[in-house]
Chain A
């Protein structure tokens, strides 16, 4: 290679709510040289297009909009001697924590003592859910539409149908109404809404936008531009029911059908990924299967609240700083798996003997009057228990175990 390597203690990839917090966390834990790399021209990530309020309730103890949250977090980072580079694209990450970076300063290699992954996520597209029909203009993912409307000042259509009831889709339903677009309905294939209840109420109910559960778009029609979509009810197997089809004239279809952690770099580094979260398999310090590489925010698992992505970022940054300073966990790995009605649980691995570990988990379907228990797989011992009158898949939950853990665990819902 010839070129001497640039070095840093902690390199953070991504400058959104998780990455900004990770840089802060690394500084707080004493990392000397912290480098934050962001591929866009501005920091903040997706927050810049999330102009609605509801952010910051946990981090800043008040409800603010996405851009405000991003600016405040970026200001917190600016007070620290963190080297922030925008317009910097990380092209590759090796198992030895060498980053290949392309930026205004040219192409260079950086050797990091520890790396924090905070690349966020991407939207699931039409191709990934295989909606039949023609391929006209006017089909947007909800986040793309949000970018075009909120940042580019573009009108995306006149009459819209929204497929999927994820939070961005719900928020965009209201946003389009504000822009004078007629929103004809939100269609969700599952029997429950994908987004938070407050968004269903404040974005749909407030404006009389119908939400049809257990239904989906089975065909897109139109040659150059969307002219209509065909919707139909689905059965328990989520297959369209013949005879329930209905044609809805519209010129725009928004897709809010899920988010996928963006782990291209993680794959380059040969990292173990979880099929349940789409993100890395991590231990209690948020370290991935690649030593010294940590993961947080939406690249680790999809969050419903930006604040939690930031808290995760703070923790990942702190642990990364400790790793860069030479700290290593000792002990064997205890595995944690999801039990009844739990979709996933994180971290998936805990160092044996570790006490005070907190798990994030999400239920697989809405459940009522349950006890969530962290149980030892071999002993059946209950390490922690929480009672809930209702749990929804749209809400990320936490449960903490105070005792030291020595055996494999299962987190599950019980009657």
Chain B
């Protein structure tokens, strides 16, 4: 075990058992995962280390409704290194009420095949908020 260069320690989140995985590089430079109690642990760890995916959530200003902001997220997780480029796209959004939960605000953001969707329903208010 002494030649193993540990690159990461992580807990598998695929089931409540929560195996504690250890990822190391073997002599050939390949990832070697230990600590998994089932077959799913290895691909989980390899993806988490080499190509981690994340969802992201934020909120953007909205007008003519009862709230100042509408919350948004991605319809699915994207590669982690796309978080900031996608946030920059979301920052350009100025949605108008009404907005429905699940409504696509940016389709196929940055060609990822993933949409930016509203996560809250905000109706057109009769008396727009004074600002």
- A241 CB-CB contact with B under 8 Å: no
Known: A52-B57, A53-B57. A65 touches B71 (CB 8 A): yes
Binding site for B on A (CB under 8 A): 41-42, 48, 51-53, 63-68, 71, 150-153, 175, 178, 197-198, 201-202, 206, 389-390
A198 in complex: contacting residue of B13, B17, B55, B71, CB < 8 Å: B13
CB pair B87 A67 closer than 8 Å: no
CA distance A389 to B67 in the complex (A): 46
| Selected contact of B120 from candidates A41, A67, A202, CB within 8 Å | A67
- Alpha-carbon gap, A183 to B8, bound state (A): 23
User: Judging by beta carbons under 8 Å apart, are B20 and A202 in contact?
Assistant: no
User: Is the Cβ of A152 less than 8 Å from the Cβ of B71?
Assistant: no
Residues of A within 8 A of B101 (CB): 67-68, 71
- A372-B54 Cα distance, complex, nearest whole Å: 34
Taking beta carbons and an 8 Å cutoff, which residues of B are in contact with A?
10-11, 13, 17-18, 20, 52, 54-59, 61, 66-69, 71-73, 80, 87, 101-102, 119-121
Task: Give chain A residues whose Cβ lies under 8 Å from the Cβ of B56.
Answer: 178
Partner of A151, one of B68, B72, B87, B102: B68
The complex places the Cα of A63 from the Cα of B101 at a distance, in Å, of: 15
Cβ contact of B58, chosen from A51, A64, A197, cutoff 8 A: A51
Determine if A51 and B87 form an interchain contact, defined as CB atoms under 8 angstroms apart.
Answer: no
**Bound: A305/B58 CA distance, A:** 20
Besides A51-B73, A150-B59, 19 other A-B contacts (C-beta < 8 A) = A48-B120, A51-B71, A51-B72, A52-B57, A52-B73, A53-B73, A64-B119, A65-B57, A65-B71, A68-B119, A68-B120, A151-B67, A151-B69, A152-B68, A178-B56, A197-B11, A198-B11, A202-B54, A206-B52
B90 (CB) vs chain A CBs: closest residue: A178
Q: CA–CA, A97 to B112, complex, Å?
A: 55
**Shortest Cβ gap from A123 to chain B (Å):** 20
Q: How far is the CA of A68 from the CA of B56 in the complex (A)?
A: 14
Highest count of chain B CB atoms <10 Å: which of A51, A152, A201: A51
The one of B55, B80, B102 in contact with A206, judged by C-beta atoms closer than 8 angstroms, is: B80
Q: Do B119 and A151 touch (CB < 8 A)? A: no
B71 with A150: CB separation less than 8 A: yes
**Smallest beta-carbon distance A282→chain B, Å:** 25
Closest chain A residue to B68 by CB distance? A153
* Inter-subunit contact A150/B54 (CB<8 Å): no
Q: Is the CB of A53 within 8 A of B68?
A: no
Contacts of A42 in B (CB 8 A): 66
Within 8 Å by CB of B59, from A41, A51, A390, lies: A51
Distance between B109 CB and nearest chain A CB, rounded to angstroms: 15
CB distance from B23 to the nearest CB of A (A): 13
Is B69 in contact with A67, judged by CB distance below 8 angstroms?
A: no
Task: Provide the residues of chain B in CB contact with A53, threshold 8 Å.
Answer: 55, 57, 73
Contacts of B59 in A (CB 8 A): 51, 150-151, 153
Partner of A65, one of B20, B87, B119: B119
Which residue of chain B has its CB nearest to the CB of A197? B11
- The chain B residue sitting closest to A51, CB to CB, is B71
- Residues on A with C-beta less than 8 A from B20 are 389-390
Minimum Cβ distance to chain B for residue A378 (Å): 33
**Which of B13, B55, B61, B87 touches A178 (beta carbons < 8 Å)?**
B87
CA–CA, A64 to B101, complex, Å? 11
Cα–Cα, bound, A205→B52 (Å): 12
Complex formed: what's the CA distance from A178 to B57 in Å?
9
Find chain A residues with CB under 8 A from B10 CB.
201
State the CA gap A52–B59 with chains docked (Å).
10
